[in-house]
Structure 1
Amino acid sequence: MTTVERTQVFLLPDLGEGLSEAEIVEWRVAVGDVVTVDQSVVEVETAKAVVDVPCPYAGRVVTLHGAAGEVRPVGQPLITIAPLDGGDEPAGHATYREEERAGSGNVLIGYGTGHGNATRRRRRPRLVLAPEPTDAPPAGVPSPAGVPSPAGVPSSTGGTGAVAGGASGGATGSGDPVRSPSALVISPIVRRLARERGVDLGSVRGSGPGGVIRRADVEAVLTVPAARLAAVPDPHVAPAPTGDGDVIVPLTGVRKAIADKLSRSRREIPEVTIWVDVDATGLLETRAAINAATPDAPVSILALLARICLSGLRRFPQLNARVDTEGQRIVQSAGVHLGIAAQTDRGLLVPVLRDAQRLTTAELAAELAATTAAARAGSLPPARLTGGTFTLNNYGVFGVDGSTPIINHPEAALLGIGRIVDKPWVVDGQLAVRKVTQLSLTFDHRVCDGGVAGGFLRHVADCVERPALLIAAV
């Protein structure tokens, strides 16, 4: 059996709920490199997160299917691995062969080793020659020089290899001379983004391998005032009238996922918001006392509020639920999978702490800090961004007092916390300055009535004002 016959092709694995494709951000390996079982080989971006994808096979890299910036459908080839010959095998490599034959259990945490549907239609990478601008590029926008095509990318003649540039007398299928392209674009997302935003790809300098234009390159050009960008007309789309300097933001990637989810929530869930002002002075004093006693493991206000919410959900489990519209039933979750709204550079994400009711207050604090940091860094796998049963939203960090947030579908409730500020407050009949915040609860009126929602919010408020009640509620 030849080496070619023994190669193993790793297909892009299932990346989670509703995610059918991913864009290649960066390859971690190159052709000829030796990889081990579960070694990360590529970083991809989905509509939910940036993910490192480990390969379940060990051997030498033969082919990388796709270049940076290309979108790959789930179930299509990602990387081809050939086994190492005996003399080629590094020390200790044989220990991976048994794992390889048995199959890795860690292809992508949360998604198993399934390769998806191999019959899914393949999106072929294509080299797009953007029309050359008739005028000079807009001021401040770099003009690229001709660059060679990455290996394996189809050229304008239909083959692969370097793009014809500087060669005279070349011909296309129509007999016209081949010109050096003014732009190298592989990803359909990049082409669509450029078209929707009116960006002339001929005026964009690509930062990808071989000068390939990536989404970040197009977005960088968008910092130039819109009036200075050359429009790329799309004959299938009627032009929309816009004023000078208008900025058009397409709903793509994370922004589109957020829009779809919030729109669905507002369409399906009959939500109600109730709120109450509370004296948080005692909560701040409790936090200070805890952190003074355990300076190596400090707790945050958010961690204490999470602990209070868990206590409230134990008393009012109706809010730790979702509505199954197809089955015409309400499903109350056995565990509290606590979502934490986190603002990131890629948009609003809600990472989930699974079975949060099993964590101590110190463990909650540590998990919250690590999870929100990973969400902002874009390193959370998609599995950590789905499956929540109740969400905690600290919008007070933005300097606002209150909000009527939209429920994170398909959950049934969300607690919001405003900023904590000094306000006049009556204590034992006397006016005093206290640390006051506003708590708001948005709930799905299908899962409970106002009595349950009010009881939960009042329990949370009482625990904020008198944290000792938490001990009594355990």
Structure 2
Amino acid sequence: MAQVLEFKLPDLGEGLTEAEIVRWLVEVGDVVAIDQPVVEVETAKAMVEVPCPYGGVVTARFGEEGQELPVGAPLITVAVGERSPSGGGADPGAGSPPRAGGESSGNVLVGYGTSEAPARRRRVRPGRPVTSASAAAGQTPGGGTGAAATARADGGVPAAAGGPSAPVNGHTGGVAVDDGPVPVISPLVRRLARENGLDLRELTGSGPDGLILRADVEYALRAAGRAGTAAPAAQPHAHVPQPAGAAGAARTAGTAAPASRSSATTAPGEIRTPLRGVRGAVADKLARSRREIPDATCWVDADATELMRARTAMNAAGGPKISLLALLARICTAALARFPELNSTVDTEAREVVRFDHVHLGFAAQTDRGLVVPVVRDAHARDAESLTAEFARLTEAGRAGTLTPAELTGGTFTLNNYGVFGVDGSTPIINHPEAAMLGVGRIVPKPWVHEGELAVRQVVQLSLTFDHRVCDGGVAGGFLRYVADCVEQPAVLLRTL
């Protein structure tokens, strides 16, 4: 006898709470093996294939491609029988997903950490349980009729109960369901309820077959904000005006006044793009950097002719080709060894500057999904060949969307080669929580005074944006000047090789 198990979007680690479905890898009716990837999702960190810990037949999928799901939302259901692909037997009477060694692997998803779906939380209510008789009579466990306990926020004050035919979402006779999936029209509706501490099991949906709509959740949130008063019998779609000071008054009274997400409509001529996934994470990080870091920028022009000649000579000697970015990275690590103040971060809570004895070098890479900053670990211990290979590997992974969280975090300094976009200069935003970023513009022929003569040379503009809390202009200027000297005279690097 088959048992249907529900696999939910697992904990993705790194503080991530949601993911967007990019591509389904299975269809309803497909047979899946234990730990077979079933869906590809994009988080704020990277794209990843999510394996299912159960083996069996896919009976349902939840969510469409392009839809965002919160952690804990159902992904698929799998019918697990005695002759499932895993080869193990299932206990048809089991009330919870089997552990590792049965029909669930319990294995960890590489880079994230998934196992079996978490146990469903139940709200414990005093009084007798809901029986079929009381449900038929429209009674609640507390003895009232209807579903007197309308939506309430966790830890908040429940709406008034006990009156005859007390409505839930404008409907009478609603019965709280203690187990099983809650029918919700969209994961966004589920997330709206979760963010406002709303228990969906206390709602009766106004959609087909009791489907919970967004209007139902918003109506319940408004009802919860008016704790201590009888819930109105208005339909969930009715607009309930709120006075300007209602939110503040509710907070003063000790009741949370949940606010739903903006439901702004798109006006003619507007195109709205949700800030989510990688692009949303970048937006949050840049905004935080601007809020927290008092940054300053200095820049200098440098003659890169000799650096370009040195690179040409290296590549002409045979062996793997050396990239310009690798040479610039090598210059950066040498400069950070001389000016370690810039290889640091600020611990705002302890009011301390934390300096690192290693250089994990981030570099900005543009992809179809937005800007990402992969990190080269221990860049200070790598030579030009090793740096070239690692840059190439991480860049390809970034374009393919397969970078892991470990490859996108932990940087101590960032190199930004915006010259690839054909621009000369920029004032980049520091990659929080780092303390500095070196920007490199395009290298172009320009008039330049060389050895007392006017000549055409390959000139590049270098800029350094730094956190003014970790150092003053003298240190920042010394770092940038040393970088420029190495660009103009690569032999300077011989001292640190």
State the TM bucket, normalised to the shorter chain.
0.5 to 0.7
Q: What is the CA distance between 1:369 and its match in structure 2?
A: 1.7
How many residue pairs match? The answer is: 365
Partners of 1:393 and 1:417 within 8 A in 2: yes
Could you tell me which residue of structure 1 aligns to residue 12 of structure 2? Answer: 15
Deviations for 1:59-97, whole angstroms, at most 9, x for unmatched residues? 55454343434332113343445556458668xxxxxx8
Counterpart of 1:257, as a letter, is: A
1:65–1:246 Cα change, 3 Å: closer
1:36–1:115 Cα change, 3 Å: closer
The 3-state SS of whatever aligns with 1:406 is coil
1:40–1:102 Cα change, 3 Å: closer
Match of 2:398 among 375, 399, 404: 375
Match of 2:317 among 282, 293, 298: 293
Distance in 2, matches of 1:79 and 1:455, equals 58
Match of 2:307 among 283, 286, 292: 283
Could you tell me which residue of structure 2 aligns to residue 52 of structure 1? Answer: 49
Could you tell me which residue of structure 1 aligns to residue 348 of structure 2? Answer: 325
Deviations for 1:387-407, whole angstroms, at most 9, x for unmatched residues? 222111111111111111111
Could you tell me which residue of structure 2 aligns to residue 126 of structure 1? Answer: 185
Q: What is the CA distance between 1:8 and its match in structure 2?
A: 5.7
Could you tell me which residue of structure 2 aligns to residue 158 of structure 1? Answer: 209
Could you tell me which residue of structure 2 aligns to residue 72 of structure 1? Answer: 69
Counterpart of 1:375, as a letter, is: G
Which shifted more, 79-88 or 349-358?
79-88
Partners of 1:37 and 1:104 within 8 A in 2: no
Counterpart of 2:300, as a letter, is: V
1:155–1:337 Cα change, 3 Å: farther
Question: Identity of counterpart residues, as a percentage?
Answer: 59
Distance in 2, matches of 1:123 and 1:462, equals 65
User: Any gaps of 5 or more consecutive residues in structure 1?
Assistant: 91-96, 129-153, 161-172, 174-184, 189-233
Deviations for 1:338-390, whole angstroms, at most 9, x for unmatched residues? 21111222222222223323333212112212212222232323443332221
Distance in 2, matches of 1:390 and 1:235, equals 36
Partners of 2:322 and 2:385 within 8 A in 1: yes
Could you tell me which residue of structure 1 aligns to residue 294 of structure 2? Answer: 270
Distance in 1, matches of 2:421 and 2:355, equals 32
Mapping of 1:216-365 within 5 angstroms? Answer: 245=269, 247=271, 249=273, 251-294=275-318, 297-365=320-388
Partners of 2:107 and 2:115 within 8 A in 1: no
1:325–1:381 Cα change, 3 Å: same
Distance in 1, matches of 2:465 and 2:261, equals 45
Distance in 2, matches of 1:13 and 1:430, equals 66
1:119–1:3 Cα change, 3 Å: closer
Distance in 2, matches of 1:390 and 1:406, equals 12
Partners of 1:72 and 1:123 within 8 A in 2: no
The 3-state SS of whatever aligns with 1:442 is strand
Could you tell me which residue of structure 1 aligns to residue 254 of structure 2? Answer: none
Q: What is the CA distance between 1:268 and its match in structure 2?
A: 0.9
The 3-state SS of whatever aligns with 1:468 is helix
The 3-state SS of whatever aligns with 1:158 is helix
Partners of 1:399 and 1:419 within 8 A in 2: yes
Could you tell me which residue of structure 2 aligns to residue 407 of structure 1? Answer: 430
Partners of 2:55 and 2:103 within 8 A in 1: yes
Deviations for 1:415-468, whole angstroms, at most 9, x for unmatched residues? 000010111222222222211101101000111122222222122112211222
TM-score (norm 1): 0.67
TM-score (norm 2): 0.64
The 3-state SS of whatever aligns with 2:10 is coil
Match of 2:478 among 451, 455, 467: 455
Could you tell me which residue of structure 2 aligns to residue 29 of structure 1? Answer: 26
Distance in 2, matches of 1:322 and 1:285, equals 36
The 3-state SS of whatever aligns with 1:402 is coil
Counterpart of 1:324, as a letter, is: D
1:384–1:395 Cα change, 3 Å: same
Q: What is the CA distance between 1:118 and its match in structure 2?
A: 5.4
Match of 1:426 among 427, 430, 449: 449
1:393–1:54 Cα change, 3 Å: same
Larger of the two Rg values belongs to structure: 2
1:429–1:339 Cα change, 3 Å: same
Query: Does 2:441 match 1:438?
Result: no
Distance in 2, matches of 1:373 and 1:88, equals 35
Q: What is the CA distance between 1:330 and its match in structure 2?
A: 1.6
Distance in 2, matches of 1:60 and 1:239, equals 41
1:124–1:158 Cα change, 3 Å: closer
